[in-house]
A = this chain, B = another copy of it.
């Protein structure tokens, strides 16, 4: 199997954009191509991750449209879908194109354009099509409602506190404030101060602020607004090539050394223990084995905190903390920048934002910046190896990717 290196990355600002999906994908792609010092003439394949361009943008054939738009014709072009893990799946498929020797130079790009959808609940309803069409969806469940149920079970089973989950949101907003590409470049304290200035209330600290029914309303009891990721626009891209050739293009290639993906039951009640992500345990174990790494070797992690509870549980099933201790670890500051295992230095889905198909690619882009030492104010000191967790569905299709400094 050929080894696969990342030689270029691109990332639009996440948030509310006036550009269309193809434009966002184009911008991230062109930035990655420029960063890679390759010529656009040499690309032989392109993989685009996006969850719902049909429902959100009335577009199909987005991969064909993209290669035309950015001048990569006649490169092969395909669209890869795996719910909110469409980006991670696109990275995997692009990885396989290089690993097999079928491609020499691959562009992987993920993106989504959603903020223009103003019908209340439209996005959440669309994402809810990931639930089981007979056992779950007809009963009105959505992904946030599952996250609320999971939070209740977790807090009771492991004697954890909701405030500990709030600290995950506080940390991720703190990190996002240091990320110029983040949707929210503000700490929760910033939000509080702004609300005080506008005369909307008075609070002495963020914990008090987060208990305010109006400023932080309940989304899916007990989860409140700040426990939940936003709806965002954005795109992120990678250029991949055979690791043997990577230094022809860049002095700072990053190796994709581990790739894992696994599924679990579609129907959540069929799982033995809803607080354990079997698919993540398996996917990350595949990635660790392939990369010859253990959780102790990981310097930085990008997790899928669509809901704060997920980051806590993922930090356990990725092997960083014992089962039931992920939320507590966040409370103890072990997952902050400078902590035992920094999780989501980018701001994560909570603060960087969550343009569905972009997320899995953006996670890898953040690892690349961290490993190259280019993460600016949110740099994790000495980051050499990182891991991601990207969620398609509610724990039933998970991808985990390990990237590390390429030494040769």
Contact = CB atoms under 8 A, between A and B. Distances in A.
Interface stretch (A29-37, A71-79, A147-155): A71-79
A61 B78 contact: no
A376 interface: no
A83 B2 CA distance: 30
B101 A61 contact: no
Given A82-B64, A83-B61, A73 B129 contact: no
Contact of A81 (B60, B100, B265): B60
A282 B60 contact: no
A33 B372 CA distance: 45
Given A51-B60, A68-B265, A282 B74 contact: yes
Oligomeric state, in number of copies? Answer: 2
B64 A393 contact: yes
Given A45-B261, A263-B67, A82 B61 contact: yes
B100 A68 contact: no
A156 to B, nearest CB: 27
- What class of interface size applies to chain A in its complex with B? 35 or more
B63 A102 contact: no
Interface in A349-407: 392-393, 396-397, 399
A392 B64 contact: yes
Interface stretch (A89-97, A186-194, A332-340): A89-97
28 contacts: A54-B129, A58-B129, A59-B133, A60-B129, A60-B130, A61-B82, A61-B83, A61-B393, A61-B396, A61-B397, A63-B81, A63-B397, A64-B83, A64-B397, A68-B263, A68-B266, A74-B262, A74-B279, A76-B263, A76-B399, A78-B82, A78-B89, A78-B92, A78-B93, A78-B261, A80-B80, A96-B96, A100-B100
